Amino acid sequence: MKLHFTSRQRREQGMAVLVVIVLLSIMAVFVLSNGRALGQLKQELKLVEKRQQRRLEPKPAARAVAGSETNGVAGANNPSAK
């Protein structure tokens, strides 16, 4: 069984293949660009998280002052408290 294609049918099939290849390449570009954007967002999220942790962590001086007032003997070392 032989299939005979006219030149018009071959051209149409060739155009269909070309359209599919172009669409696949466009989709590949989208996938690659989305992957890159996702990586950049991940890096930015880490940076924001580090900034928030630094901003919200208690200062060493504040911890020392708060600790001395809450231990119940804050006035024991103070001579004017006697």
C-alpha 80/C-alpha 19 separation (Å) is 90
Question: DSSP string covering 13-67, please?
Answer: HHHHHHHHHHHHHHHHHHHHHHHHHHHHHHHHHHHHHHHHHHHHSPPHHHHHHHH
Q: Write out residues in the chain with pLDDT < 50, as ranges.
A: 82
Q: What is the pLDDT of residues 8-23, one digit of tens each?
A: 777 778 899 999 999 9
pLDDT on residue 59: 80
